[in-house]
Amino acid sequence: MEKNLLLISNSTNRGEEYLGWCKEMIKEFCDRHNIKDVLFIPYAGISMGYDIYETKVKAVFSKLGLNLYSIHKEKDPIQAVRDAKCVAVGGGNTFHLVYELYRNKVMTAISERANSGMPYMGWSAGSNIAGPSLKTTNDMPIIEPESFNCMNIVPFQINPHYTDFFDPKHGGETRDERLGEFLKVEPTMWVAGIREATALLLENGKLTLIGRDNKMKVFRGTMEAKEFSLNDDINFLIS
């Protein structure tokens, strides 16, 4: 079964409305798959709380003609996933997201549905968990989940919000150096650093980088990191 995934780096660009830059991308993805109802996973939104998070995302989705409902209001979360036509996982803290996915026993259920072709979309933390693990998140480990293992609906790691900006006043590690530490531990794993205002789209067995003209940076082992533009073939990541 072919997968249908929209993995977005970020929800907000500076000076733009929430989900503003990617709302047409979301609408087109849902339209292509005849989606009207979307099950939302707010578990990463620990700062604002689930009710406020649902309201915030629902306001955007309703303007796109989409009915969004949140899993935290469902009596049976597992059945809600099994019945869902599409799942959207919002950004926030990845550790808390993964903790709650395991606590509510829906990590496997979402993975099984997405691997069977159910349309799945996520942004930030919601994209990070599409890979094998959360190990390339940028977030602080505020809570300990049952496991670092995630949905593995793509066979490579994702680093959302990727940047190679270097502040000369900052003496700490760069993002590349931190990803390099991961690659010392897992040298055979591909890592896709997706910059702001870009997303990965997997449909019809083809993986593409979409969004604004902002390159993706790919890492593996001791190989020199390489950048890929919107028009480049990146299907080696899923082969």
Residues with catalytic function: 124, 139, 161
Which 3 state secondary structure label does DSSP give 233?
A: coil
Return the half-sphere exposure (C-beta side, CA atoms, 13 A cut-off) of residue 6.
25
Give 231's DSSP letter: T
Which tokens is 43 given? 């578990």
With beta carbons less than 8 A apart as the criterion, state whether 221 and 232 touch: no
CA distance to 47, 70, 113, 117, 168, per residue, from 206 (Å): 36, 30, 19, 13, 39
Which 3 state secondary structure label does DSSP give 58?
A: helix
Torsional sign, CA 128, 131, 137, 143 = positive
